[in-house]
Structure formats: C-alpha cells, structure tokens
Amino acid sequence: MTVTTLKPMNLLEEYGPDSAKPGATQVEARAYVTALTTEHYENFSVLSRLVPERLRPDFAAVYAYCRWADDLGDETGCDDEAKQRSLELLGWWRRELDACFRYAADGDAADPPRHPVFVALVDSIRRRGLPKRPFEDLITAFEQDQHITRYRTWGQLIEYCANSANPVGRLVLAIGGYDMSNPAHSDLFRMSDATCTALQLTNFWQDVRRDLFERDRIYLPAEETGIAADELDQWARDPRGARPEDRVRYIKAIRHLCDRTERLFEEGRELPKTLDNELSPVVWLFGAGGEAVLGSVLRIGCTTLWRRPRLTKLDQLRLLLAASIRFRSQRARRCPAT
C-alpha cells in the first residue's frame, strides 16, 4: 500500500458504509493500522522506539481510529452538501464504534466488525480495558465542526477542546494502565487534559489561515481577540490591504492567546514525571513538541494569518534526541546494573 491509498477518504469505497467487502482479518487489520500510523504523522511517528513494543499495536489502533474520524469530519469539503455528507459518515462511524464495543464485550455477537480499524480496536479494548466515552467524544467534536465554525468566547473553545483533544490523552493513559474512574489517577487526567487542550489550541493559532481558507472555520474567540470574522477574512485575502494597526491588533491577539495556552502547558508539565517509565518519554515528547510549535508561533512574531510556522527537521531531531535520552536514563534506573 502507498501513503495515498492508505488515506481514509480514498478507502471509503472499499471499507465505507456501502461496501460489501468481507471483514478484515486480524492480521490484515493490524497491518493496516500499523502502516497508517507509521506512514503519516505531522511531527513524529507515534510508533517510534520510544513507545514500548507491547503497547505499539494499541497506539496504532487508537491513532487509526482518530485519523479516520478526523478525515470523515474534515475531508469532504466545507459547503452545506459536504457538511451533510460528513455528518452521515460520522453517524456511520459512531454506529461502527457501538458495534465494536458490543463485540468486544460479547464475541458471539451476530455482527462482528468488518472495518480494519475496528477489527484491530477490539483486541485493544479487551486487552487494555479502553473506555468508550473518549471515542464517542471525538466523534461529537467532529460533528460539532459541521455546525459551528465560529467561536465567541474562550470558554466555548475550551469546551470544544474537551471533546476534540482531551480524549486522545485519556486514551493514551488508558493504554498505559491508568483508570479514568480511579480517584487516585484524577490528577494525571487533569494534567493530561490541560496538555491536550494546549496542543489543540496551539494547532489553532498555527493554522489560522489554513482553517479559514480550507475549512471555513475560525477558532479565534471573537470576544477574546476583538476581531470580527469578516475583518479576519479581509486581512487574510489581501495582506497588503491590512493596515499596520490591523496587523498589530492581530499580532497582539495571537500573543495573548499564546500566553493563555502556555499556562495550560505549564499546568500539565509535571505529568511525565508522575507516569511510569514506559509511558513517560512518549507523553513528554507530545507536550514538548507542542510547546516547541507554540514557540515557533512566537518566533515569527505571531503573524500566522499570513505565514504558517512549523518545526524544522532539526527541531524535531532535537526533541527526539531529548526524549531518547530521557527514555534511556529511565530504563537504566529501572534496570540497574548488577
């Protein structure tokens, strides 16, 4: 399979709601989710050697689920017809999730999963005791994207992140053996939520222009920035027409949002130190990568409406090396020389 054929929207005919193809075998499903995960990830491979080998199949299954759900919500287009199509596909994805959890609980169910993502996910649900709620919340967020494309307040945006970002961190912790329902783990999930929300917000500040033009979405909360949607659209479409004072308004608004986001990163910064040695380096890398992207937004002067910041290959290498050093030092402490 090539990267192109692995893309979810290219596989709807083969695996979508109207497909008559027989269900994937466990071997086929594992091969698919692993290939999807290792061949596409914006900044880092989630199956790098930092992820303990015993957890890699579960990371792959969860990532593939998130990737499919995200693409079903984002890749059909942004007109009314496309949004309706996304809602239909996300409804199908929710029904597949329901069937997957039923089958995971009762292997004799009459309708076993057919889609390779859910075939792979059944084993992870059983093995790691993964909760259903985070998977459902992700679908809810992507459904919301079809109805709400502008945000008025910071609180509304945080509520959106609770569904669009926080479930991913909760699933990572669940894979590592941490239980959402255990009061002893409540601080871990609180710090994870703060980090994941910060990661999502950082992505918003980085991709203001892309979200506006490709998806007709504006995640900048209008009351927080004082910038109306039509102003933002005008400045983006004609950068030379943006007055100096308009550019300053935008830059100040993004800097303020970055400051608030940085405080969320700070709230979650102790999380890797409180996790076991297996999961700690991976979680550290996600948070550190997000903080590095936020730093790149600040380095270009918060001009993200006209220029998209990104981590360089050298930036990524430095982070991976730092995480690798962390991994080796923790492994050495876990297995001291005799």
What is the spatial distance between Cα 29 and Cα 100, in angstroms, rounded to a whole number?
A: 14
Mean pLDDT of 12-41: 84
Do residues 227 and 249 touch, judged by C-beta distance below 8 A? Answer: yes
What is the spatial distance between Cα 140 and Cα 160, in angstroms, rounded to a whole number?
A: 9
Mean pLDDT of 43-55: 70
Residue 126 has a CB neighbour count (10 Å cut-off) of 13
Long-range contacts, 69-73 (Cβ 8 Å, 24+): 69/93, 69/138, 69/139, 69/142, 70/142, 71/7, 71/8, 71/9, 72/8, 72/9, 72/142, 73/141, 73/142, 73/143, 73/145, 73/146
What is the spatial distance between Cα 71 and Cα 322, in angstroms, rounded to a whole number?
A: 31
148-329 is classed CATH 1.10.600.10 = yes
Do residues 115 and 15 touch, judged by C-beta distance below 8 A? Answer: yes
**pLDDT for 192-240, tens place per residue?**
999 999 999 999 999 999 999 999 999 999 999 999 999 999 999 887 7
Q: How far from each other are the two terminal CA atoms of the chain, in whole angstroms?
A: 46
Residue 328 buriedness (CB in 10 A; 0-12 / 13-18 / 19+): exposed
Q: What is the 3-state secondary structure (H, E, C) of 181-206?
A: CCHHHHHHHHHHHHHHHHHHHHHHHH
**pLDDT for 232-290, tens place per residue?**
999 998 877 678 999 999 999 999 999 999 999 999 999 999 998 889 989 999 999 99
**pLDDT for 63-96, tens place per residue?**
999 999 999 999 888 889 999 999 999 999 999 9
Mean pLDDT of 134-156: 97
Question: How far is the CA of 1 from the CAs of 7, 40, 83, in angstroms?
Answer: 10, 13, 29
User: Which pLDDT value is given to residue 14?
Assistant: 83
Please name the CATH architecture into which domain 1-147 falls: Orthogonal Bundle (1.10)
Domain boundaries of the chain, sorted by first residue: 1-147, 148-329
Do residues 148 and 87 touch, judged by C-beta distance below 8 A? Answer: no
As given in the structure block, the two tokens for residue 116 are 């390779």
Per-residue pLDDT for 191 more than 60?
yes
Split at pLDDT 50, 70, 90, the class of 187 is very high
User: Which pLDDT value is given to residue 337?
Assistant: 45
Of the two residues 311 and 125, the one the predictor is more confident about is 125
Q: Which residues, at least 6 apart from 101, have a Cβ–Cβ distance to it below 8 Å?
A: 125, 132
Do residues 113 and 122 touch, judged by C-beta distance below 8 A? Answer: yes
